[in-house]
Amino acid sequence: MNIEDVRIVELPKFVDPRGNLSFVEQHKHIPFDIKRTYWIYDVPGGEARGGHVFKQNQEFIVALSGAFDVIVDDGTNKKKFTLNRSYYGLYVPAGLWREMENFSTNSLALEFGSIHYDVNDYVRDYDDFLILKRNGEI
Ligand code: TYD
């Protein structure tokens, strides 16, 4: 997988004077079986989260509130995606280094994952990531 496989997905948006509504559906907007949902909130200014690789886990990230950047790196190229609307999601395939930063006050990051939490699915060392990538192991 490389940077080209990361993509922004526009979600349905029902604009309504009573308040807008958006939604996601498995296999329609999210291209995998959803096994897990978690969210990141109350991020203090200047903090970064998620500097790691998921070996198997695919993700779909939505800025439900506020804004933040997702930096994705395939070992050769790096790209920054700014999420600042609740009707866009970012699909991140497995095997890419990714980090989240520049969280605005009160931002809320919702993440869908394709596998259950597994500490062994993480690669947290960037040099290890490059080696795995070079050897074609991720
Ligand atoms: P982690 O993914 O390690 O966050 P970051 O990469 O931003 O440092 O998650 C932090 C902790 O939360 C981790 O040690 C275990 C727990 N956790 C779960 O138990 N289940 C989950 O689905 C996630 C994402 C985290």
For residue range 54-103, list pLDDT tens digits in order: 999 999 999 999 999 999 999 999 999 999 999 999 999 999 999 999 99
- Measured in angstroms, how far is the CA atom of residue 103 from the centroid of ligand 1? 17
Catalytic residue numbers read 52
Nearest CA to ligand 1 atom 4: 50
Residues across the chain: 138
pLDDT band at 39 (very low <50, low <70, confident <90, very high): very high
Q: Report the alpha-carbon distance of residue 57 to residue 112 in Å, rounded.
A: 10
**Do 116 and 32 meet the contact criterion of CB atoms below 8 Å apart?**
no
Give the max Cα distance, the chain. Answer: 54
